[in-house]
Amino acid sequence: MYAHKFLLFTKKFPALLQNQILYLTLNNKVLLMKEQDIHAELSSIRDLMERSAKFISLSGLSGVMAGIYAFAGAGIGYSLLQGEYATLRERHTYNEELLIIKLFIVAIAVLVLSIGTGIWLSVRKAKKNGQPFWSAGSKRLLINMAIPLVSGGLFTIILVYRGYYGVVAPATLIFYGMSLVAGSHYTYSGIRSLGILEILLGLLCAVMPGYGLIFWSVGFGLLHIIYGTVMHFRYDK
């Protein structure tokens, strides 16, 4: 009798073992699928939180256009300086206040065009992607960039008022770089690298007086065009 039961058990054992293995395999697959679903859900939530916390509608083309405006402004500024130098050689005098006013108007024009174009292109990108332009991320970006930008602008005006023209270009580059680094936490991380380059360029400009217009052109012109192009093909496509 026991021998008969043992024979029946040995016949059923492979099937029981196979069923158990199949059960464990299916159970592991279900657990793995659940774990993958959880990771996918967490990744989706993290992506949603990042989108709400960061301003990702910044257009790469706005950087390119800002660089073009900067080069145009630098060209106009160079022409104005050359004209005053020619006047100085001929008449041994020139109107310094008028020159400063003209250069200031050129700088304001470049700034207004850059900001205006940047807002327009970013709004267009936000609408294209179905995202709000004015969001919590854009507010944080504006506030954090505005602090060093406004401080730098006021400091630059003081420098001009006091007649320290040689350090105007380094000051604008350094404060602008600081604003980019401060705002990089609320938009694309590559902004931080651009900000660091602007700061380094400003420091180098400070130890090489007389080349402010060249450094200014490189910082606000060339670097903007390069970064804007990279950002356009990486994020805007």
Q: State what percent of residues in the chain have pLDDT above 70.
A: 71
Residue type, 7: L
Asked if the model's pLDDT at residue 13 lies above 50, the reply is no
Asked if the model's pLDDT at residue 98 lies above 60, the reply is yes
pLDDT band at 93 (very low <50, low <70, confident <90, very high): low
Q: Is the Cβ–Cβ distance between 121 and 59 less than 8 Å?
A: yes
Query: Whole-angstrom Cα distance, residue 85 to residue 171?
Result: 24
Asked if the model's pLDDT at residue 3 lies above 50, the reply is no
| Mean pLDDT of the region 88-101 | 71
Asked if the model's pLDDT at residue 134 lies above 50, the reply is yes
Least confident of 28-42, 63-77, 114-128: 28-42
Q: Is the Cβ–Cβ distance between 114 and 69 less than 8 Å?
A: yes
What residue ranges do the domains of the chain occupy? Answer: 1-53, 58-236
Judging by beta carbons within 10 Å of its beta carbon (0-12, 13-18, 19+), is residue 187 exposed, middle or buried?
Answer: buried
pLDDT of residue 24: 61
Convert the pLDDT of each residue in 148-202 to its tens digit. Answer: 999 999 999 999 888 888 899 999 999 999 998 988 887 777 888 999 999 999 9
Convert the pLDDT of each residue in 32-56 to its tens digit. Answer: 655 555 555 445 445 444 544 555 5
Asked if the model's pLDDT at residue 233 lies above 50, the reply is yes
138: left (phi over 0), alpha (psi -120 to 50) or beta: alpha
Neighbours of 127 (CB within 10 A): 12
Sign, CA dihedral 82-217-171-60, equals positive
What's the number of CA atoms in the CB half-sphere (13 Å) around residue 50?
11
> Which pair of structure tokens corresponds to residue 225?
């065009």
pLDDT of residue 33: 58
Residues contacting residue 105 through CB under 8 Å, at least 6 positions apart? none
pLDDT of residue 48: 44
Q: From the centroid of its chain, how far is CA 39?
A: 29
Q: Is the Cβ–Cβ distance between 186 and 53 less than 8 Å?
A: yes
In this predicted model, which residue has the larger pLDDT, 185 or 1? Answer: 185
pLDDT of residue 80: 84
Judging by beta carbons within 10 Å of its beta carbon (0-12, 13-18, 19+), is residue 51 exposed, middle or buried?
Answer: middle
Query: Whole-angstrom Cα distance, residue 114 to residue 72?
Result: 12
Asked if the model's pLDDT at residue 78 lies above 60, the reply is yes
Top-ranked range on mean pLDDT: pick from 44-48, 60-64, 127-131, 216-220: 216-220
